Structure 1
Amino acid sequence: MENLISQEHLEDIREIIENKIADVPGEFILFGAIGALLLSSYLGKNGHKQASSIVGKLSIPIIGIGLAKYRDVIKAEIESFQEPKYENLNTES
Structure 2
Amino acid sequence: MENLLNEENLENIRELIESRLADIPGELILLGGVGSLLLSSYLTKKGNKQAAAFIGSLAVPILGIGLAKYKDLLKSEAENFKQSLQSEE
TM-score (norm 2): 0.89
Aligned to 1:5: 5
- Shift, 1:37, TM fit: 0.5
Secondary structure, counterpart of 2:3 in structure 1: coil
Consecutive unaligned residues in structure 2, runs of 5 or more: none
Aligned to 2:28: 28
The one-letter code sitting in structure 2 at the alignment partner of 1:38 is L
Decide which structure has greater helix share: 2
CA distance, structure 2, for counterparts of residue 62 and residue 55 of structure 1: 11
Q: What does the per-residue CA deviation read over 1:28-49, in whole Å, with 9 as the maximum and x for residues that have no partner? A: 1110111011000000111111
TM-score (norm 1): 0.85
Number of equivalent positions: 85
Runs of 4+ in 1 over 3 A off after TM superposition: none
Aligned to 2:45: 45
CA distance, structure 1, for counterparts of residue 59 and residue 5 of structure 2: 21
Aligned to 1:15: 15
Q: CA RMSD in A?
A: 1.0
**Counterpart check, 1:60 vs 2:60:** yes
Percentage of identical aligned residues: 59
The one-letter code sitting in structure 2 at the alignment partner of 1:25 is P
Give the number of the structure whose alpha-carbon radius of gyration is greater.
1
Aligned to 1:71: 71
The one-letter code sitting in structure 2 at the alignment partner of 1:46 is K
